[in-house]
Amino acid sequence: MLSKNADRLAKIWLWLSALVIILVLLSVLGYVFINGIGAISVSFLLDMPQNNWREGGIYPAIVGSLIVVFVALAFAAPVGVGTAMYLTEFRTEGLVTRIIRTSSDALNAVPSIVFGLFGLSLFVFYLGDYTGGPSLLSAGLTLGFMILPTIIRTSEVAMRNVPYAERMESFGMGASKLQTIRNIVLPGAVPGIATGLILSIGRAVGETAPIIFMVALNPTIPKSLFGSGNTLTTQLYYLSMEGISMKVAFGTALTLMLVILTLNAITRVFKKRLSRNLRRC
Amino acid sequence: MDSKNKIEVKDLNLWYADKQALKDNNLHIKERKVTALIGPSGCGKSTFVRCINRMNDLIDGVRITGSILLDNKNIYDKDVDVVALRKRVGMVFQRPNPFPMSIFDNIAYGPRIHGIKDKDSLRKIVEESLVGAALWDEVSDRLGTNALDLSGGQQQRLCIARSLAVKPEVILFDEPCSALDPIATGKIEDLIHELRKKYTIVIVTHNMQQAARVSDFTGFFLLGKLLEFGKTRDIFENPKKKETEDYITGRFG
Amino acid sequence: MKKLFDQERVVGAALMVFSITALVILLLIMLFILDGGLPLFNKVSVSDFLLGDKWVPAKGLFGASQFIVAALLVTFGAILLSVPLGISCAVFLAEIAPGWAKRIVRPAIELLAGIPSIIYGVFALIIIVSLVRVTFNVATGETILAASIVLAIMILPIIISISQDSIESVPRLYKEGSYALGATDWQTIHRVLVPAAGPGIVAGIILAMGRAIGETMAVVLVIGNVEKMPAGLLDPGETLTSAILLEMGEAVVKSTHYNALFCLGLVPFILVLFMSVLSSRLTTKNKARFA
């Protein structure tokens, strides 16, 4: 039976393909863990770098990453959720929604290095007097632009998943549109929106190219939003590219990886709750 | 003339997870006759017919007990090759489902997967099958066009031709006309009438007139159980069970 | 009766301002990249830029063809490596995998998609580069091929998830029709399901190409960064994006060099926008086909 054998072989190949992918993931994770675990400790996370990063900790990069992510989210979360709300609750499908959605998709496709060039020319050269030039604020805003499409898309899906009937019920009881949004749509969409926000935090924390021209390898704690600082990713780039200290580079990589794994685990919890909610309806 | 039993169903039970959908069904299907299965929707007649070529194997969580003998061989035995079984027992579905490819490739699909590569043989099979399904005259000049461009009734006859192309012994029809208009339905019924000369046919239908028109035998299903079975004329003119009579006279259903 | 101060309309108007932000940012990006790049063409012709192969900023030579060729080679290499694996895995998830396997593979793919590119870069810098060096017995593993491999890993999640979606959206009816004719699982998969899902899968591949062309960090660490026309996959090279990253620091603001680097960014930008439009077109068309 030729077709029987072909079937069996093909299935072995399909199983293997999944196995290969698992192995690739495990080797990336394993590589980062094995090399980074020796470097990482509480003091590594909370100490200042010493001796041009060859010793000491990575505290400034952690603070820098927190700041840029905070700035990015402070911009993109309200704008993104607001856009999603406008698309789902205030506009019927048509030219306007199509334009908004297409620009959001296009923005999502822009290569990260192009965001870097854009951030450099807009925030550093054009608006430098207001942003402090190559500052954490400039970097954070650039990241905010970059994660905006993700937030729009995920929030829109979350709001659309709130059943139409529930809105109608609320209108039927005499509630206004705003009351309906506040009492029905937003509570129902919160798990989905939160998942999208965490996803975007993960992206913002992990991106390098968009902010590489705005942050330098800086061993001091950033003094303000308008000051310069560095982040986990940019530090990792400089340390490994210039071969300054692979030990600290791996420690930084593991720290970054742990952040990503934690965010991933949180979204998993949210997703579980989300599917439970959906089943209840 | 009484023909031999092609299919014998014995004590057939089927569960979807915990829900029992078929209960203790016994039934003989005669060779080269048309057997119609009727009953209200959800009575299990479609589930039943999908047991005969083991299409229910594709659904997760289905459990089956009992046996179905095809030429005295239980198709649920461990050593049965499901692929070979489905080649012998073809199926035409409720909604026409031609593949998104040309008319020719649709018909040639079956022969090709069963190893026929020779162009001339394929062309011959395609023509025979289309003639057999009374579609040849309508499509012979455009075998290369996409099958999805045909009308619903033509698509359904294409699907019949597609199953003829693998030279089955039994053809199962699962409500083949429910998505078609009356004219297309009439053509399919004529075709079934023709096909019974060569094939054993089982047709599930919710249309009682259709069962009366096309079948030699009729079985009435209710709540997963074959309640009554007999010659079509007997079932329609002289039902033994009250439920059967209620159903065919339109008192419920 | 309409109130003079209608809360709903105020909120609606405010949200409208929010919702045009994406468009405004997109337009600003175009404006600033063009503004940064176009002055180059006062000094260098478009064809010299696109076709020239001498990139010597100090001498005013800005031929970018070796960067373009390297970027295309890297991208095609990545696609070649990841498409067979990605589609196989998508088929596995959509058709073959039992529940427990899906519960392992799917989160693994999500995680793969979430790992930052710089971490892939650091991984590739040691592991993949040495792998290439040893396997092919070349002087340095920092090659186009190394970049292709790491990009292939990075774009796998895109290819898998989009292919899986399109395979799963092929109507059940096709599958049943094929099985009813006595087809095996594999025959059904490769003769009916994958062809029917074709346009959707192609859309995923195009999207993945866009991602690969635009990627910077993972590539710059492993490609060797030699400004020379690569002769093959085992040559080092430098892509558009890595050139921008490496030279921006030394370019004087508003100089011709600075303009040229923006033009290097313009190339993947335009390509990627084009690909994203093409991909979403294909996706909508595919969905309409089965509706």
| B1/chain C closest Cα distance in angstroms | 31
Residues of B at the A interface, defined by Cβ within 8 angstroms: 81, 83, 113-115
Three-state SS annotation for chain A: CHHHHHHHHHHHHHHHHHHHHHHHHHHHHHHHHHHHCCCCCHHHHHCCEECCCCEECCHHHHHHHHHHHHHHHHHHHHHHHHHHHHHHHHCCCCHHHHHHHHHHHHHHHCCHHHHHHHHHHHHHHHCHHHHCCCCHHHHHHHHHHHHHHHHHHHHHHHHHCCCHHHHHHHHHCCCCHHHHHHHHHHHHHHHHHHHHHHHHHHHHHHCCHHHCCCCCCCCCCCCCCCCCCCCHHHHHHHHHHCCCCHHHHHHHHHHHHHHHHHHHHHHHHHHHHHHHHHHHC
**Chains in touch with C (≥3 Cβ pairs < 8 A):** A, B
Of all residues in chain C, the one with the smallest CA distance to A119 is: C29
Distance from CA of C236 to the nearest CA of B (A): 45
Nearest to B90 among C180, C184, C191 (CB): C180
Neighbours of C185 (CB within 10 A): 21
Q: Quick check: C176 contacting B, CB < 8 Å?
A: yes
- The residue-averaged pLDDT of A49-67 equals 89
Per-residue pLDDT tens over the stretch A245-261: 888 999 999 999 999 99
* Interchain pair C18, A87: CB under 8 A: no
Nearest chain A alpha carbon to C217: A209
Region of residue A175 (left: phi > 0; alpha: psi -120 to 50; beta: else): beta
Q: Do B83 and A2 touch (CB under 8 A)?
A: no
Please report residues of B whose CB lies closer than 8 A to that of C175.
58
Question: Which parts of chain B have pLDDT scores under 50?
Answer: none
- Backbone angles phi and psi of A142, in degrees to 5: -60, -45
How do residues A196-207 score in pLDDT, each as one tens digit? Answer: 999 999 999 999
Domain presence at residue C210:
yes
Distances (CA, A) of B71 to A54, B87, C255: 81, 15, 87
Residue C105 lies inside a defined structural domain of this protein:
yes
Q: How distant is the Cα of C125 from the closest Cα of chain A, in angstroms?
A: 9
Best residue of C5, C28, C122 to probe chain A, by most A CBs closer than 10 Å: C122
Residue C38 domain-assigned (yes or no): no
Question: Cα dist. B42→B22, B207, C84 in Å?
Answer: 11, 14, 43
CB pairs under 8 A between B and C: 67
Average pLDDT over residues A136-162: 95
**pTM, whole model, 2 decimals?**
0.89
Q: How far apart are CA C204 and CA C199, in angstroms?
A: 9
Fold of A42-280: MetI-like fold (1.10.3720)
Tell me what pLDDT residue A276 has. 65
Question: Looking at residue C227, what is its pLDDT?
Answer: 85
CB under 8 Å, gap of 24 or more: what pairs does A122-131 form? A122/C28, A122/C32, A123/A214, A124/A213, A124/A214, A125/C253, A126/C32, A131/A226
What is the reported pLDDT for A279? 52
Using 50, 70 and 90 to split pLDDT, how confident is the model at A213?
Answer: very high
Q: A206 to chain C: nearest residue by CA?
A: C116
CB < 8 Å to C201, chain B: none
**Which residues 106-135 on chain B approach chain C with CB closer than 8 angstroms?**
109-110, 112-114
Instruction: Kindly determine whether residue A4 and residue B83, on different chains, have CB atoms separated by under 8 Å.
Output: yes
Residue A268, pLDDT above cutoff 90? no
B219: three-class secondary structure by DSSP: strand
* C96-129 b/e (C-beta count within 10 Å ≥ 16 → b): bbeeebeeebeebbbbbbbbbbbbbbbbbbbbbb
Domain region containing C234:
47-290
Beta strand B62-70 pairing with B34-38: unpaired
ipTM: 0.92
Decide: helix, strand or coil at residue B8.
Answer: strand
For residue B61, the model assigns a pLDDT of 87
Domain count, chain C: 1
Domains in chain B: ranges and CATH:
5-248 (3.40.50.300)
Contact flag C269-A24 (C-beta cutoff 8 Å): no
State whether B55 and C179 contact (CB < 8 Å).
yes
Q: How many residues does chain C have?
A: 291
Closest C-chain CA to B172: C180
| Mean per-residue pLDDT, A5-24 | 95
Pick C181's closest partner by Cβ from B90, B95, B101: B90
The answer for C 187-226 residues in CB contact with B (under 8 A) is 187, 191-192, 195-196
pLDDT beneath 70, residues of chain C? 1-5, 290-291
CB contact under 8 Å between A111 and C269, yes or no, is: yes
Written in H, E and C, the secondary structure of chain C is CCCCCCHHHHHHHHHHHHHCHHHHHHHHHHHHHHHHHHHHHHCCCHHHHHHCCCEEHHHCEECCHHHHHHHHHHHHHHHHHHHHHHHHHHHHHHHHCCHHHHHHHHHHHHHHHHCCHHHHHHHHHHHHHHHHHHHHCCCCCCCHHHHHHHHHHHHHHHHHHHHHHHHHCCCHHHHHHHHHCCCCHHHHHHHHHHHHHHHHHHHHHHHHHHHHHHCCHHHHHHCECCCCCCCCCCCCECCHHHHHHHHHHHCCCCCHHHHHHHHHHHHHHHHHHHHHHHHHHHHHHHHHHHC
Supply the CATH number for residue C52's domain.
1.10.3720.10
The predicted pLDDT at position A281 comes to 44
pLDDT at A131 over 70: yes
Nearest chain C residue to A106, by CA: C273
Q: Which residue of C has its CA nearest to B158?
A: C177
Looking at chain A, which residue has its C-alpha nearest residue C102?
A: A18
Q: Is residue C199 part of a domain?
A: yes
Question: Given an 8 Å threshold on Cβ–Cβ distance, is B114 in contact with A4?
Answer: no
Place A88 in a pLDDT band, splitting at 50, 70 and 90.
very high
Hey, are the CB atoms on A22 and C88 less than 8 Å from each other? no
Query: What residues of chain B lie within 8 A of the CB of C195, using their CB?
Result: 100-101
Residues of A in contact with C109 (CB under 8 A): 21
Phi, then psi, of C168 in degrees rounded to 5: -70, -20
Contact C35 A121 (CB under 8 A): yes
pLDDT at B9: 96
